[in-house]
A and B are shown apart, each in its own frame.
Chain A
Amino acid sequence: LRLFYRYRDLAPQLVPLDYTKEPDVKLPYELIGSMPELKDNPFRQRIAEVFSEDGEGNMSLDDFLDMFSVLSEMAPRDLKAYYAFKIYDFNNDDFLCKSDLEKTLSKLTRGELSEDEVKMVCEKVMDEADMDNDGRLSLEDFQHMIVRAPDFLSTFHIRI
């Protein structure tokens, strides 16, 4: 219920209080991206795109709930891993290829690393995680790698 009020607070004039008639209301990405929990997150655009139905970042209440339930602390590890994979997959091809990794890295460091360093890091990541040696990370590779990470659960988590 708290979530519903947060959702409504973003755009009170658009969202009705009564949801039993299942109105079809979507909040545009700009509003979502300006939420205090998300506005500093470098991946907020991707998060919104992954959870929204149209892939543009416009979210209905259902999508909103989906997003926060996955990012809450009660979501199981595998579920989070699945969604994390989708978030980091910039070109939506169900694989994390080199360009996806490069984009992730640049968003993380805000362009502070040099070309060579970026290339090196991406290569190393590919080396470490790519199990089937096809040059890109599939969901299994990603999951296999991320469920071992000790702080995945604690960082991939938004409290609301």
Chain B
Amino acid sequence: AKNGIIVLKRPLGTSSDSNSDSDEEEDSMSEGEMARLMEEVEEKKKLIATIRNKPWRMKRRLVLLREAQQFVDKFEGALGKGKGRKWYAYKVMMTKKWIKFQRDFENFRTACIPWERKIKEVESHFGSSVASYFIFLRWMYGMNLVLFGLTFGLVVMPEVLMGLPYGSIPRKTVPRAEQDTAQDYSVLMDFNGYCKYSVLFYGYYNNQRTIGLLKFRLPLAYLMVGLGTFGYSLMLVIRTMAKNADVGGGDGDEGEFTFAWKMFTSWDYLIGNAETADNKYASITTSFKESIVDEQENQKDENIHLRRFLRVLANFLITCSLGGSGYLIYFVVKRSQEFANRDDLSWYEKNELELIMSLLGLVCPPLFETIAELEDYHPRIALKWQLGRIFALFLGNLYTFLFALFDEVNTKLEEEGSIKNASIWAMKEYYANFSLPVNDSDATPPPMDPGDVILGPCWETAVGIEFVKLTVSDIQVTYLTILIGDFARAVIVRFLNYCWCWDLEAGFPSYGEFDISGNVLGLVFNQGMIWMGAFYAPGLVGINVLRLLSSMYYQCWAVMATNVPHERVFKASKSNNFYMGLLLLVLFLSLLPVVYTIMSLPPSFDCGPFSGKEKMFDVIMETIDLDLPAFMGTLFSYAANPGLIIPAVLLMVLAIYYLNSTSEAYQNANMELKKKMQMVSKRICGVPSDEDFNQEEPKKQHRQHQPGDEGPGGPAAQSLPGPARPAGAWLVSSRASCRCGTPETGTDQPPALSLWSEQRNPRSLKENRPRPEAEPPGRVLTCRKT
């Protein structure tokens, strides 16, 4: 629609450039006229800016727009005074050109958004909740693309282009012992062999301070990109959350308008498919019937003790299973460590860890759901519990995995010490053996063949390998589940239906529905793993980008071909921020291990860009010392002083506290205003108590002010006084269009005294009141004494 409006403006609008030939006229204008003119121009400009928001007919809008534009053009150039005039006109023209450029750029940007058609198709078939998953996927894809660009451009490319090639130094070469098997498919699938010694992993990168002609500081870039990944993701997530919170609107009481909302907002205008429309009708009908039944029946807890006992039992069972899964993972990781020492492993044993983790992720959620049936909660609450439990499951799994991994890292570190000695020893031996046959002691022996040098166990690469394997197996399991769970099921149901006893399509198993929450959580946790592993395996982000891309097409196809729309109305509108919040939490949790390793674990001595240093962030220290001017070094050393940092932290804590308390105060003020509005609108125009009287007055004028008061203000202004009701004097004295009274009623009527408290249930209030019919206009209302 925006395109349409813009296009129309161009042929029909007359936006000529400011004419400077009206110079002669301005000289005669006085100051006052100038000021007035400026005001008018400003007003017209504002009109042009807001014209889209007014609910007028298109024609009227266009006519007004044209008028306003002509007016602005004619007089704007005239407003510049004297010598400044030409400059002013020039400025105005540049502003206009800038605005036009911005508009064009916006158009271009909207046209560039990928997959718009696809998502629209899914939306029209399945409604907006399923489509929200795909929109989320698209957003993730965008974020990963940027991260990939960063990593690729700043870390991988320089190393490939300007660093030393494969085979030149020990860390980049496959050790001689492994060289025979390095190209085997099975070894490659494990990410050993050639994969291990490639750009994909941490161990490949050289620790030279600067490489190539441009003196590109690779180690510094590596660290910065790693931290920048987190920073960028954090910024993006928070920005999206803020945007979502804005759109979400205020949170009214949930039960306040159930029926009204059901009636007016349940139809999804996006639906463009007959089958979905049928489903939607059915679900709307069902939902109405449910709410009616809810209303009519008086829910009384028959047996509150039984219910409590069942809930406790369910929670206990679930905690047990969570603990069980955590222990299982720990056990499997330990086993995989033992396996690492053996050589003859079956495929299952090699990939056991990843398989178990993915299977747990598959099996446990339905298990939780079945156990949750015991609890008998309201569906929305049950969903929240379910999501919380799945979250706990994934979290527990991930962290157990991490702890086990850390155990491994520590053992590797110990091993390193001994290997360091061994390799130095081997080097010395090699030189000693070499110089024997040569009598010329001046000749320098050639360096040892890189394949022979004993390499330390590069723990970072090992960690990177683990993460990559985990991600890959996660991808495989997801795709397989879709293939089997949805596609095969659909095929079976479709074709076996002809020769089966009961109706497969209507009863069990029927077609699958699209599991939104499961998929979103899977996506969120996948992203968490990427964040954790990206520091140790720069290639991981690239793998993820490919995965998201293929996932988009694959899942779109799967959804259209094998799933049916949900039977129940899925009200997922508030969950947008919920998933973002989850993402934020996962981001923080995945930040922790990486930061911990950067700060405290020593890097491997012979692989990766930080080899040889005490701690990884020593690179920053080095850069500050050597590259930046001297005073910056002293500046940083002052800034790092604890005496400065602690007050800064205190200041931030105080700021957070202050902002928190002001926001609470605003919320309270909001609640007060809301309550007042409700009180005013639901109360019969009768007698308030004294304090209500004092409070009502300022609010009355406030209440009737509605947006869009120019055009549709019409109906409101002509609104007629409604039913016969006692008119309070104070109510009459305020705005004439108040429905409760007419201006004729004098102020001399003594109000009847019936005091109502604020907390009175509005429903019972209405029941007591007789239901009035619409009165003809102009009737004088009398005050009734109750």
Q: Which of A116-150 contact B (CB under 8 A)?
A: 117, 120-121, 124-125, 127-129, 131-136, 138-140, 143, 145-150
Complex Cα spacing A131 to B260, Å = 13
Within 8 A of B (CB), among A64-87: 65-66, 68-72, 74-79, 82-84
Residues of chain B lying within 8 A (CB to CB) of residue A154: 128, 268, 573
How many residue pairs between the two chains, A and B, have CB atoms under 8 Å in the bound complex? 210
- Chain A residues lying within 8 Å of B573, measured Cβ to Cβ, are 150-151, 154
Closest to A137 in B: B260
Contact code string A40-72 (vs B, CB < 8 Å = 1, else 0): 111100000000010000000011011011111
Which residues of chain B are near A1, meaning CB under 8 Å? 3-4, 7
Chain A residues with CB below 8 A from B123, complex form: 159
- Distance of A69 Cα from B55 Cα, bound (Å): 11
Is A108 within 8 A of B263, CB to CB? yes
Contact flags (1/0) for A2-32 with B, using CB distance below 8 Å?
1110000000000000011010000000000
- For B267, the chain A residues whose CB sits under 8 A away are 41-43, 108, 155
Contact across chains for B260 and A145 when beta carbons are under 8 A apart: yes
Q: Are B739 and A132 in contact (CB under 8 A)?
A: yes
Closest CB in chain A relative to B243 CB, distance in Å: 13
Given the known interface contacts A104-B263, A139-B712, the answer about A83 and B2 at a Cβ–Cβ threshold of 8 Å is no
- State the 7 A-B residue pairs at the shortest beta-carbon distance, nearest first: A134-B722, A69-B1, A148-B252, A62-B58, A3-B4, A40-B277, A131-B681
A65 contact from B4, B274, B284, Cβ within 8 A: B4
| Contact pattern, B 252-277, Cβ under 8 Å of A = 1, otherwise 0 | 10001111110111111111111011
Judge whether B288 and A109 touch: CB under 8 Å.
yes
A127 touches which of B263, B276, B708, B766 (Cβ 8 Å): B766
CA distance A94 to B250 in the complex (A): 27
Query: Closest B-chain residue to A36, C-beta based?
Result: B272
CB of B715 within 8 A of chain A?
Answer: yes
If A3-B4, A112-B285, A148-B257 touch, does A88 touch B264 (CB 8 Å cutoff)? Answer: yes
Contact of A66 among B58, B257, B766 (CB under 8 A): B58
Contact of A140 among B265, B574, B716, B774 (CB under 8 A): B716
Chain B residues whose CB sits within 8 angstroms of the CB of A128 once the complex forms = 256-260
Contact with A along B1-29 (1 / 0, CB 8 A): 11111011001100000000000000000
Whether A117 lies near B292 (C-beta < 8 A) is yes
Q: Could you tell me if B682 and A39 are in contact, using CB atoms closer than 8 angstroms?
A: no
Rounded to whole angstroms, the CA-CA distance of A36 and B766 in the bound complex is 45
8 extra interchain contacts, Cβ-Cβ under 8 A, other than A128-B259, A131-B681, A139-B715? A41-B267, A65-B5, A69-B2, A84-B264, A95-B715, A125-B259, A139-B706, A145-B261
Please give, as numbers and ranges, the residues of chain B lying within 8 Å of A39 by CB-CB distance. 272
The interface on chain A, measured as residues whose beta carbon lies within 8 A of the other chain's beta carbons, has a size of 78
Q: Using an 8 Å CB-CB cutoff, how does the interface string of B706-730 with A read, 1 for contact, 0 for none?
A: 1110001001100100110100000
Docked complex: B750-786 residues within 8 A CB-CB of A? 763, 766, 769, 771-774
Q: Mark B657-693, 1 if CB is under 8 A from A, else 0.
A: 0000000000000000000000001101000000000
5 pairs, CB–CB < 8 Å, chain A vs chain B:
A112-B281, A143-B706, A148-B250, A150-B571, A152-B264
Known: A134-B722, A140-B706. A121 touches B739 (CB 8 A): no
Q: A113-B289, A117-B292 are in contact. Are A155 and B128 (CB under 8 A)?
A: yes
Asked, given contacts A129-B260, A131-B682, whether A150 binds B722 with beta carbons under 8 Å apart, the answer is no
CB–CB B257/A129 < 8 A: yes
Q: Give chain B interface residues in 113-155, CB to chain A under 8 Å.
A: 120, 123-124, 128
Chain A residues positioned under 8 Å from B259 (CB to CB): 121, 124-125, 128
Instruction: Please report the C-alpha to C-alpha distance between residue A132 and residue B251 in the assembled complex, in whole angstroms.
Output: 23
- Taking a contact as CB atoms closer than 8 A, the residue among B11, B55, B740, B769 that contacts A83 in the complex is B55
B359–chain A nearest beta-carbon distance, Å: 36
Is B641 interfacial (CB 8 A cutoff)? Answer: no
